[in-house]
Structure 1
């Protein structure tokens, strides 16, 4: 006599659907729990400040005032472009700084990357030397260069030695003609190592076989760069240009440490002026309007830059 084993009841479609929904629900809640810390920080430190800045830009709010904020419409924006020459000077300084720094820093970083990409003795040491200013605090770098730019500083001493006393240099940071240029030189020197590393990473993604094929076709170093290196660096170029542009437009620390916007506003920038208006002069509403103008300007420049450097395919 054979005993037939009991059959396992087949799972009904309703139970399978219920189990699937339960498992999916657990995964969803687990994902939300892991995302929650970053999401909370994003809301607290990005979304809420942006909404507050947008709201305050249309008011006359002050940092400390017994009177409640009053809605003033577009008065802050009209004031910025018609009745505030310091803002216009700050805007000009900001875009002039970016206009010089972006191509020079990108080009110099590419040149250094090409040089240190060669197989030669001591190349790692050169890479470290060029990258040291990047990992050094920009505040420390600014304080150091402020001493270098003093009338009796190292730069003027070098000029005096090289010219045999024919030119004794100047007070670089207290001269409206040279103050912004001095900060431009400092900024390029401090950040060029970072973009050198980015260019170097892009160079090392280009297959060596392309260079070998170019050599077999008789291409020299310049033709290899134009036909092989530069096309292979296009994605890297877009990243470098966008990051340098945003960083240059957001210039603040060097100004705050070295010149405080002087002399006579020749080094004031949009970010520095907004901070000064908001916290030193307590005009929070007007500072928020300046920040909103800066945000729109950076967004437009980034979009135009991205469009000009996009692939044509």
Structure 2
């Protein structure tokens, strides 16, 4: 290797590090350092505001967490939310993607309409649906009008039986457009020659979907499965705006409990323990999903 070539490689390396530097610095400041601090605080008795210095308490916070009924209820709520949202949202998004992938007039209008909830702030969407779910809200008015006054809608967010399903319905509606775009990008990578050959052979639409479309979407559906699951496990904004974890902890989640504990009850160490357990949970679920959806040789 000549001196000029070596010098050029060094300049390219310096340029690469210079471009990588700002992003790497932000990653260290806002991800690595907070994660390290949370790990350390989980083994102390630190509080957000306290005149006393933190003391090492070992596994006390984790023992307390294992005996915390609210935490186990939050874990069950998150599991229920993810089990319903993952197939429902991914299936709805795939159906929408198949519709807007057709080459018909005005399809761009429907793509925009389907994607519009995604670009709207989740806080705004939550407030909108909060008014719709009220006892005298739009949803109950539609039910009352559709049944000619024979059926009165429930108090959706104040009934433990309907609060989480109401959150699920709103969450699926808001995020389906985002995953529709991902499905759509996968659909548009499938060669059109495959469909033309299938049409010449007289293959039905369902057979084309099952034999061509679905196998070709394997990398896309793996990505969507992981992203929707992580988003479901991280459920927070809707809960904080609409129910605050109630009624009777029927909608509380792990992230909501961690925020409540750390900032409102000022128990920083216990909130760090909750966050650490949540991190391990997400890591395990993501690893299992990647293992189950891996390419088999």
Instruction: Classify the TM-score, shorter chain.
Output: over 0.9
Match of 1:56 in 2: 41
Aligned equivalents of 1:105 and 1:39: distance in 2? Answer: 33
Distance 2:185 2:121 in 1: 24
Unaligned residue ranges in structure 2 (runs of 5+): none
2:152 to 153, 168, 176: 168
Q: 1:35: Cα distance to partner?
A: 2.3
Structure 1, residues 72-129: CA drift from partner, whole Å, max 9, x if none? 11111121122x1111111111111011000000011111111221122221111111
TM-score scaled by length of structure 2 = 0.96
Instruction: State TM-score, norm by structure 1.
Output: 0.91
State the partner residue of 1:5.
Answer: none
Q: 1:39-61 deviations in whole A, cap 9, x for unaligned?
A: 21111101101110111111111
Deviation by residue 1:149-174 (Cα, 9 ceiling, x = unmatched): 00010000000001111111121001
Structure-2 change in CA distance of 1:196 and 1:30 (3 Å) = closer
Within the candidate set 117, 133, 148, 2:101 is matched to: 117
Match of 2:50 among 62, 65, 81: 65
Map of 1:264 onto structure 2: 248
From the CA coordinates, give the structure whose radius of gyration is larger.
1
Match of 2:125 among 141, 156, 173: 141
2:285 maps to 1:309: no
Counterpart position of 1:44: 29
1:155 pairs with 2:144: no
Change (3 A) 1:127 1:30: closer
What is the Cα deviation at residue 32 of structure 1?
2.7
User: Within 2, Cα distance between the matches of 1:30 and 1:225?
Assistant: 47
Q: Distance in 1 between matches of 2:203 and 2:11?
A: 61
Structure 1 residue corresponding to 2:62, chosen from 61, 77, 85? 77
CA RMSD between the two structures? 1.5
The corresponding residue for 1:291 is 275
The residue number in structure 1 matching 2:184 is: 200
Gaps of 5+ in 1: 1-12
Q: Give the paired residue count.
A: 297
